[in-house]
Amino acid sequence: QCLLSGSWRSDTGCRMVVSVLSKDGSFSGSYLPGPAAGGPEIITSPMEGSQQDAGLVPQPTFSFTVHWRHQAQTTAFLGQCYVGTNGEETLHALWLMREAADSPTEDWKATR
C-alpha cells in the first residue's frame, strides 16, 4: 500500500516532505526545488494536496499544489503512487507551472 506521508526526492533533486496526511486523504507539507531551479537562494515553499483513499486501491492517485514563496508562481502536480515488486514506493507525476502574466495578451506564455 502506498502512502505519501514522509520524505520524497525526485530524479532532479527536488525534495517533498508530506508532514500531515489526514484520514480523508488531504495532506500538507513543504517542497524544495532542486539545483536545476538555479538562483542564489533556493527557498522551501508550502504545499497542499490530496491522495485517493489508499484503502480502495493499493496504488492511489494524488494531486498537490506548491505556492512558491517570493515568486508569483503556483505549480500543480497530478500523479500516482506505485509499489514495485520489491515493495519500494515510487511517485510518477506531471506538473503545470503558472506565473503571473502582466496582461491578457501575455497569458499565452504564463503556463509551462
Model confidence over 42-55: pLDDT tens digits?
688 999 999 998 78
Long-range Cβ pairs for the range 89-98 (8 Å, 24+): 89/2, 89/3, 91/4, 91/8, 91/62, 93/62, 97/73, 98/73, 98/74
- pLDDT band, residue 40 (cuts 50/70/90): low
pTM of the entire predicted model: 0.84
| pLDDT beyond 60 at 37 | no
- pLDDT band, residue 7 (cuts 50/70/90): very high
Please state which of the four CATH numbers 3.40.50.620, 3.40.50.880, 2.40.128.30, 3.40.50.300 is assigned to the domain occupying 6-34+41-106: 2.40.128.30
